[in-house]
Amino acid sequence: MGQFVQFAINGLMAGAIYALIAVGIVSVYKATKVVNFAHGYLIMFGAYFYFTFAVIVPGQPWAPTWLASWQPAWMIEMKGDLPMFSPVAAVLDWVANLPRILLGLAGALVCNAILGRIIERVLMRPLMGQSIFAMIMVTVGLISILSGAAQLIWTADAASVPYIAPNMPIRFELFGTMIFLFGTDLVNMFVALLLFGGIVAFVKFTKGGIAIRATAEDQSTAYSMGISVPKVFSRAWVLASTTGAIAGAILATRNGISPSLGLFGFSVLAIVLMGGLDSYVGVLIAAMVVGVLEAMTQWKMGGGWAEIVPYVTVLVVLVWRPHGLMGQKEVERI
């Protein structure tokens, strides 16, 4: 029973990150009816931007020394009296990296927002009023462009980045089994769920969110009501890019950074299809279900089988509900 709880918690933590990634795909689809196949590569760029501002910039000769590692005398003295794997030591190590972590997150948010704005303005807006299929194919082409650009700019070598939260070990006994977690994974889960809830609240309760919903229902009517549809499109892409930056930073601390990080988006796209392309709640449920199923599959059958869980699950759900768990059924009138 204790092992079941261990893997269930691991699955929920992974599911929260899936949900944060998925919210960008849903936001773009709700505003534009375009399925963004390149969202995983926007996340990859967010991870690389975090690496740039948290690792490369602080390591430059012109950067102040405290940016790379802030260690005042009191911190060094305190760390000298602590055992190696002390939770306090883990917190102090995180505090020492805090300046470059904050710089990395700020740089990733700004740069990814600019990247999303450029994609929308240069590639997507000229296709407004054209076939949705053409816009989708542009996102497919973006996969090769972003993947190649990342390898040219940062090379294909995998790299590590500082954790965005203290990575202290957490141990407790449950049902006679020792449960082992890391503090950074728990913080990542809470950050992902908080951002997910904030975006859902934004779409539901703010004027900008209402404009996105109105545009999703009918672009012509939205125009006639004075809503700037191009601005809505731009807002949706920037929203997806900024959430992708946070998700990229979290994934970078878990899996390291390499161009293959962009492939993560395809698993999440399967989760979005399972939950419903236009349903935030459905996507959250699907993300949590897939996260737990992956963890249980890894426990019982190994990591190789866990990789196919999102695809098998979405196939089963789509046969039963073609529009996803909570997706809106479209009615064609002749």
| CATH code where residue 251 lies | 1.10.3470
Q: What pLDDT is recorded for position 334?
A: 39
145: Cβ contacts below 8 Å, ≥ 6 apart = none
Residue 174 inside a domain? The answer is yes
Decide if 225 is inside a domain. Answer: yes
State the Cα–Cα distance between residues 122 and 205, nearest whole angstrom: 30
Considering the domain boundaries, does residue 331 fall inside one? no
Token pair listed for 122: 């240069």
pTM: 0.90
CA-to-CA separations, 327 to 30, 74, 110, 200, 216, in angstroms, rounded = 11, 55, 32, 15, 14
Domain annotation covers residue 325 = no
Overall domain count for the chain:
1
C-alpha span between 190 and 283 (Å, rounded): 17
pLDDT reported for residue 331:
45
| Residue 330 is assigned to a structural domain of this protein | no
Name the token pair of 183.
């503090």
Q: Establish if 161 belongs to a structural domain.
A: yes
Whether residue 327 is contained in a domain is answered as no
Q: Which residues of 259-290 are buried (b: 16+ CB within 10 A; e: fewer)?
A: bebbebbebbbbbbbbbbbbbbebbbbbbbbb
Q: Who's near 40: CB < 8 A, 6+ residues apart?
A: 21, 261, 262, 263, 264, 265, 266, 268, 269
Q: Which residues of the chain have pLDDT under 70?
A: 1-2, 84-85, 156-158, 218, 329-334
Please tell me the predicted confidence (pLDDT) of residue 332.
44
Task: Return the ∠ at Cα 217 (arms to 212 and 219), rounded to 5°.
Answer: 75
**Residue ranges making up the domain that contains 237:** 2-320
The confidence score (pLDDT) of residue 327 equals 72
Q: 173: buried, middle or exposed (CB in 10 Å: 19+, 13-18, 0-12)?
A: exposed
332 falls within a domain: no
Provide the token pair at 22.
Answer: 């998925």
Please give the Cα distance from 127 to 261 (Å, whole number). Answer: 28
